[in-house]
Amino acid sequence: MLTIIEQIKQGQLWDFPGGIHPPEQKTLSSHSKIAEAQLPSELILPLKQHIGAVGDMLVSAGDKVLKGQVLTHADVAMSVPIHAPTSGTIKAVKPHTIAHPSGLSDLCIIIEPDGNDCWGRKTTITDYRHTEPADLIDHIRLHGISGMGGAGFPTGRKLQSGLGKTDVLIINAAECEPYITADDRLMQDNALDVVEGIRILNHILAPKLTIIGIEDNKPEAIEALQRCISKEDGIVIRAIPTKYPSGGEKQLIKVLTGKEVPAKGIPADIGIMMHNVGTTHAIKRAVIDGEPLIQRVVTVTGQTFKQPGNTWALLGTPVNFLLERFGYKADKKLPRVIMGGPMMGFTLPHCDVPITKIANCILAPTRKEISPTNHEMSCIRCTACAEACPVSLLPQQLQWYAKDQDFAKCEEYNLFDCIECGACAYVCPSEIPLVQYYRQAKAEIRLRKQDEINAERAKQRFEAKKARLERDKAERESRFKKAADDRRKEMSSSGGDDAVAAAIARVKAKQAATTNTEAETSKKPAVAAAIARAKAKQAAAQSDTSQESVPDNTEMAKLREERKRQARERKAAKQAESSAVLTEQSASGDAKKNVDPKKAAVAAAIARAKARKAAQASEQTTVDKTQDKPANTATEEDVDPKKAAVAAAVARAKARKAAQASEQTAVQAQDEPANTAAEENVDPKKAAVAAAVARAKARKAAQASEQTAVQAQDEPANTATEENVDPKKAAVAAAVARAKARKAAQASEQTTVDKAQDKPANTATEENVDPKKAAVAAAVTRAKARKAAQQAAKDTQQNSEEN
């Protein structure tokens, strides 16, 4: 049985399923030689013109560059650099629309040519036959060579994958798509360079057989290649039938070798390597001439051009520059420019799109030449697309799943085996843009897979970091534990204590001391002073108790006698007040008939003054007795200061109660004459004015006397607190001060009464005042004054008890 190589050498060919035969239209551009490249006003170089990663920029805006100078750099195999197509200045580095079906923008380097076209430094390999394949592969990669057939796969990476396992090397020269003649003219005009590039690939890969696959509609190219190939090269030229898409990688391998590339596999998996004829020409220029990939052959065709043909175009040349050069005249009803052929190309959003490494054709057809796409209709299930598919897929099923975004089903039906040749859309009677659905679904699946890869990579990094931290923690703990054990052993061997335990104990003690200090300093000064006074009193009481072994009840007996005496005096004062009230009521009854309101007010003030005097007299008597008895007692024997202070406080409270009772009686006596005066035909204005003046002066006198009493009470207390003074004497001094304050208040009130009696007639206002309202206002004012006096008395009592 003959081997595959023997069958190929004998001229045997195979066929692939499906395929179509659209009009070729190649004679429009294949009749003339390739035109030389011309310099546009600016060159737009996208950073990404191939499959793989983008390199790092080595230039910035404003830099001067030479022809062939490296603009980007990357060390990874799946990335190739780009080079300056001519000498000039970096005008800008910014996003610009690129040659892509999406019409999106990408980062581009814009060069303004200087017209000199000066070359930079070239790196050549004169004798590649004595150079290692790895060095040649690296040289090819650094010169920016990538696949020029349409995929843009980095050539260096592709050669690495086939080292040592390539049996058959195939050069793809089929160029099956209509209108495109770039490879045809390249083989006719530069056949020697193409063959030399094939020889370099043979040296790198060392295949058993090299085949040039070319369609039989290119006889001139076949003849030019045969003239350049010798028997020693081991290169076989095979003319294959013209059928679209015979130029596809998997389809051409099937036609030439009868083998099929497995799903999701590459030709290297079955021992086959394929390169485009344009790529071989670029390899020869890079290795032997030292020129990077800075230009390529582009077909400019269509019936809208006056002179369609092929031209060398510098990478980055705007499409509109080529249109103007070849005499483009847009169709009036349907102007459009397509990058690529009519089957796999895409319409450009505008003509300011640059030429890249994979752009092989600019097609500008008329409306009659290529009819516009009508409205998409529903699928009629005619199976024409399945019969035309060269990969034996089910295009209608894939379109349904892609439209429904059921990407799992799309992968199940081998969506990624689709080469996007457009044969299914070409034969579809419903004019469904099937390839567009497939491209969109592929892009979405790639994006989701990339997200999953990134998530998995992030998860692995997180888990690795977590494991590293735990490992470091365990090592640190074990190291500390070992060091502690070593210290303990050393301390035990030397007979000392554990230094770590002692240090921990010292730290804890220091923290406890700090906490106590902060707690003590956080107390308020007033609270601290009160606590200090309480502690001093407790200490004094304990000292007195220690001195007296037998309790002395003499002081308590004296206090009881004093309370009895005060009770008798209060009883007598109440009787006197009740008799005074009866007398005033009878007097007020007589005054209802014919009483002068001025005299009534004066009588009320006199009654209040007498009540105050009586209370003051009783309090003075209490103070005198309190002052005499404790003094005599203090001289005779030691008395408990706490009991003396309690007795003084009780006496003050009783005196205040007697004063309040007398004041209430006086107020009642004042209110009744005022009401009586309001009922009679007496001048109410003068009475109201006189009452108001009397009340105001009484309030001022009460406030002054109260302030004096407070000051008199505070000073002895403070003095007793600051100095070492006998508490009994301090209590007596406080009582005397309060009595003097009461006398001063009484004297001021008496003066007020006298003035009120003399000048009530002169202070009357001339306006008509309602006597009832005046009386009510006077009563409210007196009530407020009494409340204020009571509050002041309570505050005074509290301060005296605290002190």
Residues in binding site for [4Fe-4S] cluster:
379, 382, 385, 389, 418, 421, 424, 428
Residue 231 identity = K
* CB neighbour list of residue 596: distance below 8 Å, 6 or more residues apart: 682
- Could you tell me if 677 and 595 are in contact, meaning their C-beta atoms sit under 8 angstroms apart? yes
Task: Give the residue from 691, 679, 685 showing the smallest Cα distance to 770.
Answer: 685
DSSP state of 37: P
Task: Give the residue from 437, 384, 430 showing the smallest Cα distance to 410.
Answer: 437
Q: What are the structure tokens assigned to 682, written together? A: 């007496």
- Could you tell me if 98 and 106 are in contact, meaning their C-beta atoms sit under 8 angstroms apart? yes
The size of the chain, in residues, is 803
* CB neighbour list of residue 77: distance below 8 Å, 6 or more residues apart: 141, 154, 156, 157, 160
Residue 40 phi, psi (nearest 5): -80, 180
Q: Scanning the structure block, which residue is given the tokens 């370099």?
A: 200
* CB neighbour list of residue 362: distance below 8 Å, 6 or more residues apart: 298, 299, 300, 301, 319, 322, 323, 337, 338, 339
Residue 170 phi, psi (nearest 5): -110, 130
* CB neighbour list of residue 672: distance below 8 Å, 6 or more residues apart: 584, 585, 588
What b/e string do you get for 209-244 counting C-beta neighbours within 10 Å, with b at 16 or more? bbbbbbbebbeebbebbeebbeeeeebbbbbbeebb
Number of H helices, E strands in the chain: 22, 15
Rounded to an integer, what distance in angstroms lies between the CA atom of residue 138 and that of residue 154? 11
Rounded to an integer, what distance in angstroms lies between the CA atom of residue 320 and that of residue 318? 5
Task: Give the residue from 783, 634, 636 showing the smallest Cα distance to 695.
Answer: 783
Q: If DSSP states are collapsed to H, E and C, what string results for 217-258?
A: CCHHHHHHHHHHCCHHHCEEEEEECCCECCCCHHHHHHHHHC
Q: Scanning the structure block, which residue is given the tokens 């045809």?
A: 184
Binding residue numbers: 379, 382, 385, 389, 418, 421, 424, 428
DSSP state of 67: B
Residue 359 phi, psi (nearest 5): -90, 110
Give the H or E element holding residue 89: strand 88-97
Rounded to an integer, what distance in angstroms lies between the CA atom of residue 675 and that of residue 508? 79
Q: What are the structure tokens assigned to 783, written together? A: 């009530």
Q: What are the structure tokens assigned to 423, written together? A: 């044969």
Q: If DSSP states are collapsed to H, E and C, what string results for 114-133?
A: CCCCCECCCCCCCCHHHCCH
Task: Give the residue from 238, 255, 217 showing the smallest Cα distance to 21.
Answer: 217
Rounded to an integer, what distance in angstroms lies between the CA atom of residue 720 and that of residue 430? 115
**β partners of residue 346:** 339
Rounded to an integer, what distance in angstroms lies between the CA atom of residue 196 and that of residue 622? 138
Rounded to an integer, what distance in angstroms lies between the CA atom of residue 218 and that of residue 243? 13
CA angle 173, 177, 178 (to 5 degrees): 125
CA angle 473, 478, 480 (to 5 degrees): 95
Give the H or E element holding residue 326: none
Rounded to an integer, what distance in angstroms lies between the CA atom of residue 181 and that of residue 176? 9
Pairing of strands 272-276, 168-172: parallel
